[in-house]
Chain A
Amino acid sequence: MPQPLGVVLIFSSWNFPFTLALDPLIGAISAGNTVLLKPSDLAPACISFLVETIPKYLDNKAIKVVAGGADIGERLLQLKWDKIFYTGSPRVGRLVMAAAAKHLTPVTLELGGKCPAIVDTLSTTPSKAKVTAKRIVGGKWGPCNGQACIAIDYLLVEEKLASALIELLKKTIKRFYGENIKSLKSISRIVNEHQFQRLVNLLKDPNVADSIVYGGSVDEEKLVIEPTILLDPPLDSEIMSEEIFGPLLPIITLKNIEESINFINSKSNPLVIYAFTEDETFKKRILSETSSGTVTFNDSMVQFLCDSLPFGGVGQSGFGRYHGKYSFDTFSHEKSILHRGFYPEIEPRYPPWTDFKLLFIKLAYEFDYFGLILLLLWFKRS
Chain B
Amino acid sequence: MASEVEKKAVFDIDSAKEVVQELRASFVAGKTKDYEWRRTQLKAMLKMMDENEPQIVAALRDDLSKPELESSIYEIAMLKNSCKLALKKMKHWVMPEKAKTSLATFPSSAEIVSEPLGVVLVISAWNYPLLLSLDPVIGAIAAGNAIVLKPSEISPATASLLAKLVANYMDSSCIKVVEGAVPETTALLEQKWDKIMYTGNGRIGRIVMAAAAKHLTPVVLELGGKCPVIVDSGINLQVATRRIIAGKWGCNNGQACISPDYIITTKDYAVELVDSFKCELERFYGKNPLESKDLSRVVNSNHFARLLKLLDEDKVSSKIVYGGERDKSNLKIAPTILLDVPQDSLIMNEEIFGPLLPIITIDKVEDSFDLINSGTKPLAAYMFTNNKKLKEKFVEKVSAGGLVINDTTVHLAEPTLPFGGVGDSGMGAYHGKFSFDTFSHKKAVLYRSFAGDAPLRYPPYTNGKLRLLKALLGGSILGIIRALMGWSKA
Please indicate whether A and B come from the same complex rather than being unrelated chains: yes
Chain A positions near chain B (C-beta within 8 angstroms): 1, 3, 5-6, 82, 90, 93-95, 97-98, 100-102, 104, 106, 109, 111, 121, 127-128, 131-132, 134-135, 137-138, 142, 176-177, 185-187, 287-288, 291-299, 302-303, 305-311, 314-316, 318-321, 333-343, 345, 349-353, 357-358, 361-362, 365-366
Q: Given A335-B402, A345-B239 in contact, is the A104-B209 Cβ separation under 8 Å?
A: yes
Contact A299 B112 (CB under 8 A): no
User: What is the bound-complex CA distance between A345 and B423, given in angstroms?
Assistant: 34
A320 → B minimal CB distance (Å):
8
- Any A CB within 8 A of the CB of B25: no
- Could you give 24 example pairs across A and B, Cβ below 8 Å? A3-B422, A100-B213, A104-B206, A134-B453, A176-B459, A177-B459, A295-B443, A295-B446, A296-B446, A299-B448, A303-B105, A315-B194, A335-B402, A338-B404, A340-B407, A341-B406, A342-B235, A342-B236, A343-B239, A349-B242, A349-B250, A352-B284, A352-B294, A366-B77
Q: Which of A185, A318, A321, A345 contacts B460 (CB 8 A)?
A: A185
Contact B405 A339 (CB under 8 A): yes
Which residues of B have CB within 8 Å of A343?
A: 239
User: What is the bound-complex CA distance between A295 and B473, given in angstroms?
Assistant: 22
Q: Which of B69, B101, B209, B422 contacts A357 (CB 8 A)?
A: B69
Chain A residue nearest in CB terms to B211:
A101
User: What is the bound-complex CA distance between A351 and B441, given in angstroms?
Assistant: 44
B225 → A minimal CB distance (Å):
11
**Chain B positions 444 through 487: 1 when the CB is less than 8 Å from some CB of chain A, otherwise 0:** 11111110010001111100000000000100000000000000
User: What is the bound-complex CA distance between A371 and B96, given in angstroms?
Assistant: 39
Q: Which of A187, A336, A365 has the largest count of B CB atoms less than 10 A from its CB?
A: A336
- Any A CB within 8 A of the CB of B232: no
Chain B residue nearest in CB terms to A90:
B216
Q: Which of A6, A186, A333 contacts B461 (CB 8 A)?
A: A186
Tell me the dominant secondary structure on chain A's binding face: mixed
| Interface of chain B residues 260 through 318 with chain A (CB within 8 A) | 284-286, 292, 294-295
Q: Which of B80, B214, B414, B461 contacts A94 (CB 8 A)?
A: B214
- Any A CB within 8 A of the CB of B389: no
Which residues of B have CB within 8 Å of A176?
A: 458-460
Q: Given A138-B457, A315-B194, A351-B284 in contact, is the A104-B423 Cβ separation under 8 Å?
A: yes
Q: Given A291-B115, A306-B110 in contact, is the A338-B407 Cβ separation under 8 Å?
A: yes
B350 → A minimal CB distance (Å):
16
User: What is the bound-complex CA distance between A366 and B399, given in angstroms?
Assistant: 33
User: What is the bound-complex CA distance between A105 and B67, given in angstroms?
Assistant: 37
Contact B443 A104 (CB under 8 A): no
Which residues of A have CB within 8 Å of B391?
A: 339
Q: Which of B117, B406, B422 contacts A5 (CB 8 A)?
A: B422
Which residues of A have CB within 8 Å of B212?
A: 97, 101
User: What is the bound-complex CA distance between A94 and B102, given in angstroms?
Assistant: 35
Q: Which of B72, B205, B216 has the largest count of A CB atoms less than 10 A from its CB?
A: B216
Contact B110 A308 (CB under 8 A): yes
Contact B401 A335 (CB under 8 A): yes
- Any A CB within 8 A of the CB of B56: no
| Interface of chain B residues 98 through 125 with chain A (CB within 8 A) | 99-102, 104-105, 108, 110, 112-113, 115, 117-118
User: What is the bound-complex CA distance between A292 and B426, given in angstroms?
Assistant: 27
| Interface of chain B residues 194 through 223 with chain A (CB within 8 A) | 194, 202, 205-207, 209-210, 212-214, 216, 218, 221, 223
- Any A CB within 8 A of the CB of B149: no
Closest 4 CB pairs of A and B: A186-B459, A101-B209, A97-B213, A351-B294
- Any A CB within 8 A of the CB of B245: yes
Q: Which of A100, A292, A339 contacts B209 (CB 8 A)?
A: A100
- Given contact pairs A291-B118, A336-B414, A336-B419, a sample of 17 additional A-B residue pairs in the complex whose CB atoms are under 8 Å apart: A3-B422, A104-B223, A135-B453, A137-B458, A291-B115, A294-B445, A295-B446, A296-B446, A297-B447, A302-B105, A314-B441, A315-B194, A318-B216, A342-B236, A358-B69, A361-B69, A365-B77
Contact B450 A131 (CB under 8 A): yes
User: What is the bound-complex CA distance between A20 and B73, given in angstroms?
Assistant: 49
A60 → B minimal CB distance (Å):
25
Contact A337 B395 (CB under 8 A): yes
Which residues of B have CB within 8 Å of A320?
A: 218
Q: Which of A97, A102, A138, A335 contacts B399 (CB 8 A)?
A: A335
Q: Which of B68, B236, B402 contacts A337 (CB 8 A)?
A: B402
Which residues of A have CB within 8 Å of B214?
A: 94, 98
Which residues of A have CB within 8 Å of B105?
A: 302-303, 305-306
Q: Given A309-B110, A336-B418, A337-B405 in contact, is the A319-B450 Cβ separation under 8 Å?
A: no
Chain B residue nearest in CB terms to A135:
B453
Q: Which bucket holds chain B's interface residue count?
A: 35 or more
Q: Given A310-B112, A333-B422 in contact, is the A321-B457 Cβ separation under 8 Å?
A: no
B428 → A minimal CB distance (Å):
8
User: What is the bound-complex CA distance between A177 and B210, given in angstroms?
Assistant: 46
Which residues of A have CB within 8 Å of B69?
A: 351, 353, 357-358, 361
Which residues of B have CB within 8 Å of A316?
A: 216
Contact B423 A82 (CB under 8 A): yes
B228 → A minimal CB distance (Å):
15
User: What is the bound-complex CA distance between A318 and B213, given in angstroms?
Assistant: 11
Which residues of A have CB within 8 Å of B419?
A: 336
Contact A342 B460 (CB under 8 A): no
Q: Which of A127, A293, A340, A342 contacts B410 (CB 8 A)?
A: A340
User: What is the bound-complex CA distance between A212 and B425, given in angstroms?
Assistant: 55
Which residues of A have CB within 8 Å of B406?
A: 339-342
Which residues of A have CB within 8 Å of B68?
A: 353, 358
Which residues of B have CB within 8 Å of A90?
A: 216
User: What is the bound-complex CA distance between A46 and B233, given in angstroms?
Assistant: 58
B196 → A minimal CB distance (Å):
12
Which residues of A have CB within 8 Å of B441?
A: 291, 314
Chain B residue nearest in CB terms to A323:
B444
Which residues of A have CB within 8 Å of B414?
A: 336, 338
Contact B218 A319 (CB under 8 A): yes
Q: Given A176-B460, A342-B236 in contact, is the A311-B444 Cβ separation under 8 Å?
A: yes
A340 → B minimal CB distance (Å):
4
User: What is the bound-complex CA distance between A201 and B447, given in angstroms?
Assistant: 37
Contact B216 A185 (CB under 8 A): no
User: What is the bound-complex CA distance between A298 and B406, given in angstroms?
Assistant: 55
Which residues of B have CB within 8 Å of A353?
A: 67-69, 294
User: What is the bound-complex CA distance between A299 and B444, given in angstroms?
Assistant: 14
Which residues of B have CB within 8 Å of A333?
A: 399, 422
Chain A residue nearest in CB terms to B96:
A287
B83 → A minimal CB distance (Å):
12
User: What is the bound-complex CA distance between A137 and B453, given in angstroms?
Assistant: 14
- Any A CB within 8 A of the CB of B61: no
Which residues of A have CB within 8 Å of B207?
A: 101
Q: Which of A341, A342, A362 contacts B73 (CB 8 A)?
A: A362
B324 → A minimal CB distance (Å):
20
- Any A CB within 8 A of the CB of B352: no
User: What is the bound-complex CA distance between A90 and B207, given in angstroms?
Assistant: 20
A302 → B minimal CB distance (Å):
5
Chain B residue nearest in CB terms to A265:
B28
User: What is the bound-complex CA distance between A303 and B446, given in angstroms?
Assistant: 6
Contact A307 B459 (CB under 8 A): no
Contact B246 A338 (CB under 8 A): no
Q: Which of A293, A334, A350, A366 contacts B443 (CB 8 A)?
A: A293
A28 → B minimal CB distance (Å):
16
- Any A CB within 8 A of the CB of B429: yes
